[in-house]
């Protein structure tokens, strides 16, 4: 593998080939209407690349993603999809450059790999289009971890600050205006990590992986996203252990019901110092009220 680099990680060995040919953006020509006239100009747009997530030589999923922070993506996807429960259950990650995409070859510890193999065997069968391998509606709407016991509390000011900070930490979005951002916000410490991707789920998976590699626990803060809040975003947030999701856009009805049942606070439509709380508003204290002992120490 030419130009490979290696690094140590809570997830074990990571080896990556030379990824320089996989760019995150491209400058393209365009014709724009300005002041009633057509003018020729150029615009920077984000790239999306097929990224395969492969376990034990078998491809589990292929996602269209921004070709950056791939080690974070491998770890975060493995966590939020329930393949692993801890980063150390990954022995190695090999990032391979293929002709038309990238293959993240993930080596699991023996016992985890066997559990995944048995799960695949159970899922195998004649299925049609839709969620491949899912045999029932109950499986499609998977259970969401309960985060109601979390002592974390935020204030109105925390919500406003979290979104304001994220706005200034998205270089790819500033350049293209076409990608999603996800961040972990810890009261008193600000943003612990930020990740971007063309896909909102991918951005959250990358964030989860980055936080896990840094030893950060989701229970310590809130997930902040620039996208709408779908049920998957709530489920992935709950898997991180975070009891709060804050979004710039609106939630779906199923996302609201799922967050409510999981004991999660869902804040959305944050615009300046205005926002809407859809579930468990007791976790967001009014500015000026006493902070509870709920600050989870880093």
Q: What is the pLDDT of residue 16?
A: 83
Collapse the DSSP code of 249 into the 3-class scheme (helix H, G, I; strand E, B; otherwise coil) and give the result: coil
- Distance CA(254)–CA(262), nearest Å, equals 12
Is 15 in the same domain as 107? yes
Is 205 part of a structural domain of the chain? yes
What 121-124 contacts at long range (C-beta under 8 Å, 24+ apart), as own/partner pairs, is none
Buried (b) or exposed (e) across 135-157, using 16+ Cβ within 10 A? Answer: eeeeeeeeebeebeebebbbbbe
Determine the longest span between alpha carbons in the chain, in angstroms.
65
- Distance CA(221)–CA(225), nearest Å, equals 13
Q: What is the pLDDT of residue 12?
A: 78
Q: What is the pLDDT of residue 13?
A: 84
Q: What is the pLDDT of residue 131?
A: 42
List the one residue out of 145, 144, 185, 140 whose CA is nearest residue 165. 185
CATH number at residue 234: 3.40.140.10
Is 123 part of a structural domain of the chain? no
The residue from 37, 124, 129, 149 that is catalytic is: 129
Q: Are strands 37-46 and 25-34 parallel, antiparallel or unpaired?
A: antiparallel
Instruction: Select from 99, 114, 129 the last residue of a domain.
Output: 114
Is 294 part of a structural domain of the chain? no
Q: What is the pLDDT of residue 117?
A: 85
Q: List the domain range (segments joined by +) for residue 29.
A: 5-114
Q: What is the pLDDT of residue 24?
A: 96
What is the value of pTM for the model shown? Answer: 0.88
Is 292 part of a structural domain of the chain? no
The verdict on whether 132 is a catalytic residue reads no
Q: What is the pLDDT of residue 139?
A: 55
Is 109 in the same domain as 198? no
CATH number at residue 66: 3.10.20.10
Is 100 part of a structural domain of the chain? yes
Q: pLDDT below 70 — which residues of the chain? A: 1-9, 121-141, 288-298
């Amino acid at each position: 593998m030419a130009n490979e680099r290696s690094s140590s990680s809570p997830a074990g060995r990571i080896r990556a080939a030379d990824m320089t040919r996989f760019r995150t953006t491209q400058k393209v020509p365009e014709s724009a209407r300005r002041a009633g006239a057509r003018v020729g100009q150029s615009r920077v747009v984000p790239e999306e690349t097929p990224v395969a997530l492969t376990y034990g030589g078998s491809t589990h999923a292929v996602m269209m993603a921004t070709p950056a922070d791939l080690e974070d993506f491998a770890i975060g996807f493995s966590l939020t999809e329930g393949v692993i429960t801890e980063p150390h259950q990954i022995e190695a990650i090999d990032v391979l450059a293929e002709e038309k995409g990238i293959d993240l070859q993930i080596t699991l510890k023996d016992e985890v790999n066997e559990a995944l193999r048995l799960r695949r065997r159970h899922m195998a069968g004649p299925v049609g289009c839709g969620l491949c391998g899912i045999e029932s509606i109950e499986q499609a709407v998977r259970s969401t971890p309960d985060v109601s016991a979390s002592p974390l509390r935020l204030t109105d000011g925390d919500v406003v600050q979290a979104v304001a900070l994220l706005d200034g930490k998205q270089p790819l979005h500033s350049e293209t205006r076409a990608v999603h951002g996800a961040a972990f916000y810890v009261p008193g410490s600000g943003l612990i990590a930020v990740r971007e991707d063309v896909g909102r789920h991918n951005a959250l998976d990358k964030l989860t992986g980055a936080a896990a590699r840094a030893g950060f626990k989701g229970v310590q803060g809130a997930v902040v996203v620039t996208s709408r809040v779908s049920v998957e975003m709530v489920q992935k947030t709950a898997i991180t252990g975070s009891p709060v999701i804050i979004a710039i856009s609106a939630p779906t009805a199923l996302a609201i019901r799922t967050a409510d049942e999981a004991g999660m606070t869902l804040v959305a439509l944050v615009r300046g110092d205005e926002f809407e709380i859809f579930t468990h508003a007791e976790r967001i204290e009014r500015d000026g009220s006493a902070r509870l002992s709920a600050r989870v120490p880093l």
